[in-house]
Amino acid sequence: MSLTLARTVADAVLYEGYLLYPYRATSRKNQVRWQFGVLGPPAATIAGVGEPSDLAAECLVSAGDGAALTVHLRFLQLQTRAVERVDPAAAAGFTPVEELVADGATWLSWEEAVEHEVVLGPFPLDDLATGLGVPVQVDGGEAEEPLRDRGGSLVGRVVRRRWPLHGQVQLSASRVEDADGLLRLRVAAVNVSELAVSGKDEAIRSSFIGAHALLVAEQAEFVSLLDPPESARDAAAGCAQHRCFPVLTGAADERTIVLVSPIILYDYPEVAEQSAGALYDSTEIDEILTLRIMTLTEEEKAAARATDPRAAEIIDRCEALSPEALQAMHGILRDPHARLDDGKPTFDDEVPTYGDGMPTLGEGLPWWDPGVDASVSPDADAVLVNGVAVSKDSAVRLHPRRRADAQDLFFAGQTARVTGVFFDVDGEVHVAVVLADDPAADLHEWYGRYLYFAPDEIEPLVREHDTSTSRKEN
């Protein structure tokens, strides 16, 4: 079950950017589609006509007796689709064309992709101490599909071609010093093709596209690198990544599966349940793309359907979308007074604190409604962090951890000035800051453009002679 959930997200990674709106082959965006997890042949990298040949990730594993690792390497293999029309004058009886129309049906020359998942292992972790290289070979091939009109006469053919891929998965594991029972696991995927290439078209044909891996542990658990326990924080900081990042995936709170992704994600990423199906566009927003697709003319829809079977599925799905399904994409209004199905407390229950008994919300008030709880004020409120009251104008150091995105990670270790302490309807505390070294800090504060961090992502920097730890009582 957990692996099925993990594959749902992994599929989104695999096909990210495979098609870009408006989904027609003539769109300039669709001329450069292969952007994520591309492992090019080494000769192409040297010649400057291909992507780097490898990606690698390090992660932490808490291993028990008999611990083992299974690697699911997933990627796309380029497949060209060449359309040819019947031509008795040609030597082969066919002539390549960009487009062929017969009885209202359209066929286009295009680049498709074939999905692969290579399962390697299980490998005992004890056997990886000296390193291991496992070859990955994928055959090329060619297939023909005759094209006939409604009368059955041959009008052309589609020729699909694939080129062989040669790769290797490299594994190693080593004990982490001063971390009892922890292993540092390194996983790398490498294109080892010896093919000489002269251009980008040749390079991409011999590349692993959208390459990523699902790592499945047996008798072992992975440690989050985004939110590691205190005992593993230094070890997590010492893990090196190259063109990818490992995140926990599968069922929430399980630690047996890691997704090594070429796209930045957080632990336990999910595909929104409101999504009716894949749209394949980078950082897709279902509602916007669906509405845009509905504005296409019939001629544009026909061109999209002819481009790729997956594009045809998108068009058909959007045309059949019910008003209720479309409304579900528009957003969700959650009752701030409801309890979660798992029985965990929400706003109507006692709210946890970040320190020695300092409350985070006004007594007896379930959530911040300015009309009800006028005593809550971001400019005056404080939150206790490591025994220090943090409030407006406090100096702090930033340590982004929980679901941090790429931009937040750039701020790690920087000092900042607090501009306010905010509470949301879920009872969570958010500390708004501006960077101390940002020359535009005053401007950002003037129009309210803050960075927000959780209390456990900041370190108070107590100024000399600053003994204030008071907080306005609610």
How does residue 423 score in pLDDT terms, banded at 50, 70 and 90? Answer: confident
| pLDDT of residue 38 exceeding 90 | yes
pLDDT given at position 8: 94
* Gyration radius (Cα) of the chain, Å: 27
What are the tokens at 99?
A: 């487009």
Query: For residues 348 and 461, what is the distance between their CA atoms, to the nearest angstrom?
Result: 33
Give the DSSP letter string of 133-187. Answer: EEEEEE--EEEEEEEE-TTS-EEEEEEEEE--EEEEEEEEEEEPTTSTTEEEEEE
| pLDDT of residue 190 exceeding 90 | yes
pLDDT given at position 333: 61
pLDDT given at position 343: 46
What is the pLDDT averaged over residues 201-228? 96
- DSSP three-state, residue 54: strand
Query: For residues 307 and 106, what is the distance between their CA atoms, to the nearest angstrom?
Result: 9
User: Which domains, from first to last, does the chain contain?
Assistant: 34-271 (no CATH), 354-474 (2.30.30.30)
Query: For residues 249 and 246, what is the distance between their CA atoms, to the nearest angstrom?
Result: 9
How does residue 367 score in pLDDT terms, banded at 50, 70 and 90? Answer: very low
Closest Cα to residue 241, out of 265, 214, 261, 211? 261
pLDDT given at position 469: 41
- Average per-residue pLDDT in the chain? 87
**pLDDT digits 0-9 by tens, 128-151:** 999 999 999 999 999 999 999 888
Least confident range of 26-40, 203-217, 242-256, 404-418: 404-418
pLDDT given at position 285: 87
Looking up tokens 């692993």 gives 208
Q: How many CB atoms lie within 10 A of CB 426?
A: 11
* 370/235: higher pLDDT: 235
Give the DSSP letter string of 236-254. Answer: HHT--EES-EEEE-SSTT-
| pLDDT of residue 240 exceeding 60 | yes
pLDDT given at position 349: 40
Q: Which long-range contacts (CB under 8 A, 24 or more apart) does 328-334 make?
A: 328/274, 329/274, 329/275, 329/276, 329/286, 329/287, 329/290, 330/287, 332/274
Least confident range of 203-207, 243-247, 441-445: 441-445
Closest Cα to residue 111, out of 311, 297, 337, 341? 311
The Cα-based distances of 124 to 70, 171, 257, 300, 301 in angstroms read 9, 11, 16, 53, 52
* 363/261: higher pLDDT: 261
| pLDDT of residue 327 exceeding 50 | yes
Q: For residue 422, what are the contacts with CB-CB under 8 A and spacing of at least 6?
A: 378, 429, 430, 431, 432, 452
How does residue 450 score in pLDDT terms, banded at 50, 70 and 90? Answer: very high
Contact between 365 and 348 (Cβ < 8 Å) = no
What is the pLDDT averaged over residues 345-365? 42
Beta bridge pairs of residue 185: 59, 173
